[in-house]
């Protein structure tokens, strides 16, 4: 063989090798990428070729699947009491990416989760039977909170302090996920929902942090007791009334000018929601100690998954003393979700221990066998000592018995709470936010509830945590505690 033929043969072999490499790349890498592309119609066809698995509340499925009348998508998602559970389920749409539990567990619900495959499925390359998501939501608590919020714009979260089980996640105004399931009608529904100024698609319970107002005073009080700044909730504090913010001439006053807030104890300051006491307390502690306590309760956690990822509740950094004082009353740049404030009350109710909140108990395969048990693996962290928690419970019970939270009283139950009214808008030009965080105990049962009302039909002068948010929390606690 002469040199020219050898070179031609080698070159030809290199071309063949390059072609094989390229074919392999397209087949195994780009092919996978194309198969996983959200715009690949075949994925939607495969997802909706058979009924999906279900999301279960209180033993009953709140989702389902229905045959479509035409087209290449054989089934579509359906919802039972869609508006009631939208903040829990989210939606599974033929046109849009799934959200909430529908999105997190989409592989489980459509049968593509590898844990669902049997040996036969692997050999035949058939899609496995879909699994189910078993939630911790209590339908009675969910319904009670939802109906109590009514036409108010707001949210509520209820937690079992001993187990971390989330019993209710409510956001109003809500929406019906069924409107988004069918590709033929989803576009118009989506346009209407996204144009609504009340933003019904926003999960206010988990994903809209707002200034928590005076409910944050519980965190400051916990920091003061743990630090030893005050030995008990009944020791008088050094708190002038009004309190001049450090480095300014601005006097911080109290909502009730006749309240006994001058040098008040923590109990009295919580009972009457004395701004001067907690602003001064935050300055004496310093922002680092307040932040450290806030972070123990869950603030500044960027990966708070329940399993839906909640937006981070924030305690700010880099402040001067006057700003630190304002954080002591839950203002300045402090923000919190209802989930976060429910966690504060839950930890106090549970002797200072915070059990990781979660709204999924288990996920199961098509035959009902448990794939993951989230109840069993929920971690527990100590936030404050049992002594501090006991003192804070005592003070919170005073708030409900004879303070600013009397609308949360429940006959036959022990209830503790803290009201909050947070400024909204430049120079408080908009309607304030009304907050209430609480716990209730009766007959061996317990529950922690946080509520925020962003907007209602109440006159501005009537907006308060006790007037708007406490009745919602009471309704949820009554449902959780039963008779």
- 3-state DSSP helix/strand/coil percent for the chain, to nearest 5? 40, 20, 40
Strand segments (E) across 391-456: 414-424, 430-442, 445-455
Pairing relation of β-strands 430-442 and 360-364? unpaired
In the beta sheet, which residues pair with residue 474?
none
Q: Looking at beta carbons, which pairs linking 298-301 to residues 24 or more positions away fall under 8 Å?
A: 298/340, 298/343, 298/344, 298/354, 299/219, 299/336, 299/340
Distance separating alpha carbons of residues 448 and 437, to the nearest angstrom = 8
Q: What is the pLDDT of residue 34?
A: 46
Contact between 399 and 345 under an 8 Å Cβ cutoff? The reply is no
214 is catalytic: yes
Residues 6+ apart with CB under 8 A from 382: 352, 353, 354
Tokens of 153: 């714009």
Three-state helix/strand/coil letters over 307-353: CCECCCCECCCCCCHHHHHHHCCCCCCCEECHHHHHHHHHHHHCCCE
Angle at 419 between CA 243 and CA 474, to 5 degrees: 170
* Burial call 366-395: b when 16+ CB within 10 Å, e when fewer: eeeeeeeebeeebeeeebbeeebbebbbeb
Give the rounded distance of the alpha carbon of 398 from its chain centre. 28
Q: Tell me the C-alpha distance between 302 and 300, whole Å.
A: 6
Tell me which residue has tokens 């924030």. Answer: 314
Cα of 154 vs its chain's centroid, Å: 13
Element (H, E) at 363: strand 360-364
Q: Global pTM?
A: 0.90
* CB-CB neighbours of 358 under 10 Å: 21
- What is the residue extent of each domain of the chain? 207-366+375-481
Does domain 207-366+375-481 fall into CATH 2.40.340.10?
Answer: no
**pLDDT (0 to 100) of residue 35:** 46
- Phi then psi for residue 441, to 5 deg, are -135, 135
Q: Which of 93, 174, 214, 438 is flagged as catalytic?
A: 214
Q: State residue 340's pLDDT score.
A: 98
pLDDT tens track, the chain, 483 positions: 567 777 777 777 777 777 777 766 666 665 555 445 555 557 678 888 899 999 999 999 999 999 998 778 889 999 999 999 999 999 999 999 999 999 999 999 999 999 987 766 666 667 889 999 999 999 999 999 999 999 999 999 999 999 999 999 999 999 999 999 999 999 999 999 999 999 999 999 999 999 999 999 999 999 999 999 999 999 999 999 999 999 999 999 999 999 999 999 999 999 999 999 999 999 999 999 999 999 999 999 999 999 999 999 999 999 999 999 999 999 999 999 999 999 999 999 999 999 999 999 999 999 999 999 999 999 999 999 999 999 999 999 999 999 999 999 999 999 999 999 987 666 565 789 999 999 999 999 999 999 999 987 666 556 799 999 999 999 999 999 996
């Amino acid at each position: 063989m002469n040199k020219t033929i050898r070179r031609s043969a080698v070159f030809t072999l290199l071309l063949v090798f390059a072609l094989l490499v390229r074919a392999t790349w397209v087949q195994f890498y780009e092919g996978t990428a194309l198969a996983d592309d959200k715009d690949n119609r075949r994925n939607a066809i495969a997802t909706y070729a058979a009924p999906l698995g279900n999301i279960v509340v209180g033993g009953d499925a709140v989702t389902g699947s229905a045959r479509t009348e035409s087209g290449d998508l054989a089934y579509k998602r359906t919802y039972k009491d869609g508006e009631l559970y939208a903040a829990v389920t989210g939606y599974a749409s033929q046109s849009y990416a799934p959200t909430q539990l529908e999105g997190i567990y989409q592989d489980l619900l459509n049968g593509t989760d590898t844990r669902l495959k049997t040996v036969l499925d692997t050999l035949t390359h058939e899609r496995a039977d879909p699994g189910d998501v078993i939630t911790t939501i209590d339908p009675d608590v969910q319904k009670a909170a939802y109906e109590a919020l009514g036409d108010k714009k707001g949210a509520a979260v209820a937690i079992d302090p001993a187990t971390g089980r989330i019993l209710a996640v409510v956001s109003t105004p809500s929406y019906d996920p069924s409107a988004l399931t069918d590709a033929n009608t989803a576009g118009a529904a989506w346009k209407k929902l996204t144009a609504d100024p009340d933003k019904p698609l926003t999960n206010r319970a988990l994903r809209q942090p707002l200034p928590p107002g005076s409910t944050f005073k519980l965190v400051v009080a916990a920091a003061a007791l743990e630090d030893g700044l005050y030995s008990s909730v009944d020791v008088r504090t050094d708190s002038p009334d009004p309190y001049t913010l450090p480095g300014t001439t601005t006097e911080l006053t109290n909502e009730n000018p006749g309240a006994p807030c001058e040098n008040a104890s923590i109990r009295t300051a919580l009972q009457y929601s004395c701004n001067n006491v907690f602003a001064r307390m935050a300055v004496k502690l310093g922002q680092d100690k307040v932040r450290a306590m806030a972070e123990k309760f869950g603030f500044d956690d960027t990966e708070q998954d329940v399993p839906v990822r909640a937006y981070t509740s924030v305690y700010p950094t880099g402040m001067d003393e006057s700003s630190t004082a304002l954080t002591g009353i839950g203002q300045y740049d402090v923000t919190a979700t209802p989930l976060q404030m429910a966690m504060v009350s839950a930890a106090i109710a549970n002797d200072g221990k915070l059990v990781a909140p979660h709204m999924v108990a288990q996920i199961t395969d098509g035959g009902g066998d448990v794939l993951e048990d989230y109840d069993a693996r929920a971690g527990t962290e100590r936030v404050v000592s049992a002594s501090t928690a006991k003192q804070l419970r005592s003070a919170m019970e005073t708030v409900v018995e004879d303070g600013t939270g009397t609308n949360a009283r429940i006959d036959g139950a022990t209830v503790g709470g803290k009201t909050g009214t947070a400024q909204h808008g430049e120079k408080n030009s908009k309607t304030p936010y009304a907050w209430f965080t609480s716990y209730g105990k009766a007959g061996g049962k317990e529950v922690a509830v946080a509520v925020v009302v962003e907007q209602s039909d109440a006159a501005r002068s009537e907006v308060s945590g006790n007037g708007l948010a406490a009745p919602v929390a009471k309704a949820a606690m009554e449902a959780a505690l039963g008779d």
